[in-house]
Structure formats: structure tokens, C-alpha cells
Amino acid sequence: MSRGSASEPLEPLYTAAEMLAVEEGHDAGELMQRAGRAVGDEILARFPEARTFAGVYGRGANGGDGKIAAELLRSAGWEERSLGDAEVVIDALFGTGFRGAPREDAEQQIRAVNEAGAAVVAVDIPSGVNASTGEVPGEAVRAVLTVSFHGRKIGHEVGPGRFRCGEVVVAPIGLEAGPTENSVATREILRLVPRRGAEETKYTAGSVLVVGGSPGMTGAACLTAEAAFRADAGYVAVVAPKESLPVLEARLLEAVKRPLEEVWDAVGRASALALGPGLGREHTDLIRRLLTETDLPVVVDADALHELGTVERSAPTVLTPHSGELGRLLGEEAAWVESHRLEALGRAVERFRCVVLLKGTGTLVGAPGEGVLVCGGSPRLATAGTGDVLTGIVAALLAKGMEPRLAAAAAARAQTEAAMETGRAVGMVASDLLDALPRVLDA
């Protein structure tokens, strides 16, 4: 969503209040001049053939930024016109301090912008998007380009606001970096993944036990096991119902296959568990026992999330729900989760007291007492089986001893990068990720 290369594993992600703190003590008029010029310069660079523009300007600093950009365009020979007659529209109605739903008159302006048929450039954040949460409680501008200042805001990276921003460009305006609670996990987080040492054995390199693969759902367990291997685990075993073992034997070459009855013996060889891929919902008691009677790092996904109660564990634990699964755990609809992703994640972390990875474009990772990490995502991943692949990657990184919050974030980032590495913009399937994973983890 944003232009530019990242050099740190975690990059700041600002709320409106955190940006105000960064701006404190600086000349507001000078900051406005820099911001407005940045918007104008970006428009001139992006739309070299255009000569007409329109603008909607609020009464605050955001409106002032937009008016300065408009003056720069006029100086460059552009003509300001009505919304219906302009090639480019400057959205400077609301800034990062906006909260709640727009009033009726503002809603009408926003609808007019969206219906103008022009390329919309948002100043700092599309009007109607909450910069601090990504929520869109009412009408919101749909921009093709957002020019933000100093740093990215939560609303640029967290849905549904993320999907109103178009491309995000961050323009420096002479401010120093300030502290933020939340961050973006960049590709550089993959450098934190432990690499094998010369003394490693297949067990010390990471031993993963996958519990899943009921009849009709063996593919899920296979994808998880293969992803764990491709994420550099040295040993992977799958325990599944007996009737599934012939399928698993035919499909999985390197993994050890054992019947579900031997799960406790298999646990003794594991350094991390992946619970739930294709398991079915009739094994709730087994999942609870594995969570309460082992001290291994665990990633809990799919059917293992069903009717998951509060489980007290001191060992690393990662839940990986999609919005529907998290909605069921919280007693909410999936649509509510998608509209309130930060709030939903926070409620889940508070309830389960462990790392929670909320899947989707703009994947979020939360942990008790820690800020949220936004970990990429791609529409290419909206296909069956990618969640099982993610589970395998998380399990492999936990098996290597990686701290669970970072393991979850690195796994999500690795999957995003692998999706892009496949080269398949259309028709990608989950198994396409498997060959790409070693390339992105070894980059």
C-alpha cells in the first residue's frame, strides 16, 4: 500500500494523538506550508497530463494543507473547476483528528467527491476514515492516492480504512520520529528468524507436531506440515485419525504419520504444536488436554478454535483466527470484526491472554501488554488453504524458539512475500506458496 523500501523490522504507525505529540513545539504555519507543497508536488508528478482540479477544504489544518496545494497547482497553470468538471480532486475535508461519522452536509460532500469520476488525492487521510483505528463509521472518500505527512497512520494500514486510501505516499515535513505504540512489520522482520547453526540436528532445527487431518480434510494437515518444512523446521510429524493415514502416506513424503491415539508419544519429540488444521470439531477434549497438559509452544487454528474457552498457559500460545472465527469467539458477527479490527483484536488478547493473529489483508498481531503489529497481506491469499500454510509457518518459527509475537508477525510477513514471489496475480492456490517460502526466508 505504501511506496518506499523499509530498512527496520518494525516501523512506526501513528495515531492522531501521537502525531500531535510529534508536532508539538513546531511552527504550525510552517508545517502547513511543507505539507501543502508536498501534496501539490505529488499531484504534479503523478498527473503530468492533467490541467484541471477541484478541491473540498475543511476549516482546520487539513483544509489549509489542501488550499496550499491548490495554490501550487494554480501557479503551475492548472485551472480550478467544479467537482464534475475536474480531472483531479483534492480531498482536504477532514484530517487525522476526525472521529465518528460525518454530519449530513459533510456526507453529501464526500458522496459528491466519490461520484465525480476524477482521480481523488487525499490529504493525509481520506475524509471519513478514523486515522487512529482504521474504522469507517459512515461515508468516506475513496482515494487513488493519499499523501501522508511524516509517517503512516493506523488508518492507512488497518481495514476498512486501508481500502479507502489507494496508494499511500509518506512525505517528510521536517519532524523527528516520535514513539508509537503500534508498528508495521516490514520484510526486514524475516531477518530475525533463527537460522540453522552448524551443530543443528533435525530436532534442534525445529520439531513440529501437526494435529489434524480428519477424513475429507487431510489437505489442511498436509499444507501445514509442508509449510512447516518449507519454513525450515527439521522434523515434522502429523497425528490424524487412523482412516486418514493412507491419504497422508500418499501425499506427505518427508513427514512422519501416526494415528491420533499415539499423540502423547508424538508430543515427546516435538518442540511446537500446530493444532486444528482439518481436525474436525469432535476433538475438543483432546485440544484442551494438549493445551493444558503440555508446556510446548502452540499455534491454534481452524477447528481447534471452535468453542475454545479461556485456557491458562505459561507457554507461548498463538491463536490465528479469521474474522468469522474471531467473531464466534467474541460473540460478534464477522462483519463487526471487519469493521472494528483493532477493537476486536484487543478484546481477544484481553480474553485469552496470549498472542492473537487476526488474518486478512492488513493482518494484525496482538499480545498482552504489547502494541499491535500490522503484517501485510495480499488479496492473492484469499483462497482456500492459505490459513493452513500460515499455521505451519508459525509453528516452525515457534519450534525454532522465536518469541511468539514476533514469530506470528514474521510468519504473516513471510506468507505475504511468498504470495508475491509466486508471480501469480490470478489463480494462485495455497500450495503455490510452498516453493516460494524458502526463497523469501533466505533473502
Q: pLDDT tens digit string along 130-148?
A: 999 999 999 999 999 999 9
The distance of Cα 14 from the centroid of its chain, to the nearest Å, equals 16
Residue 376 CB contacts under 8 Å (≥ 6 apart), including other chains: 185, 362, 363, 412, 413, 416, 417
Give the three cell numbers for residue 403: 518469541
Q: pLDDT tens digit string along 161-170?
A: 999 999 999 9
pLDDT value of position 306 = 85
Q: Check whether 293 has a pLDDT greater than 90.
A: yes
Give the three cell numbers for residue 411: 510468519
Q: Check whether 1 has a pLDDT greater than 50.
A: no
Q: pLDDT tens digit string along 200-240?
A: 899 999 999 999 999 999 999 999 999 999 999 999 999 99
pLDDT value of position 443 = 76
Q: Are 375 and 185 in contact, with CB atoms under 8 Å apart?
A: yes
pLDDT value of position 263 = 97
pLDDT value of position 309 = 80
Q: pLDDT tens digit string along 71-124?
A: 999 999 999 999 999 999 999 999 999 999 999 999 999 999 999 999 999 999
Report the mean per-residue pLDDT for the chain: 95
Q: pLDDT tens digit string along 338-363?
A: 999 999 999 999 999 999 999 998 99
Separation CA 318–CA 434 (nearest Å): 21
Q: Could you tell me the pTM of the whole model?
A: 0.94
Residue 9 CB contacts under 8 Å (≥ 6 apart), including other chains: 185, 186, 188, 189, 191, 192
Domains in the chain, start-ordered, CATH in brackets?
10-179 (3.40.50.10260), 188-441 (3.40.1190.20)
Q: Are 156 and 125 in contact, with CB atoms under 8 Å apart?
A: yes
Tell me how crowded residue 126 is: count the other CB atoms within 10 A of its CB.
Answer: 30
Q: pLDDT tens digit string along 183-203?
A: 999 999 999 999 998 898 999
Q: Check whether 315 has a pLDDT greater than 50.
A: yes
Tell me how crowded residue 443 is: count the other CB atoms within 10 A of its CB.
Answer: 10
Q: pLDDT tens digit string along 245-283?
A: 999 999 999 999 999 999 999 999 999 999 999 999 999
pLDDT value of position 88 = 98
Q: pLDDT tens digit string along 4-46?
A: 344 799 999 999 999 999 999 999 999 999 999 999 999 999 9
φ/ψ region of 128 (left if φ > 0, alpha if ψ in -120 to 50, else beta) reads: left
pLDDT value of position 2 = 39
Burial grade of 49 (CB within 10 A; 0-12, 13-18, 19 or more): exposed
| pLDDT over 90, % of the chain | 93
Helix (H, G, I), strand (E, B) or coil at 354: coil
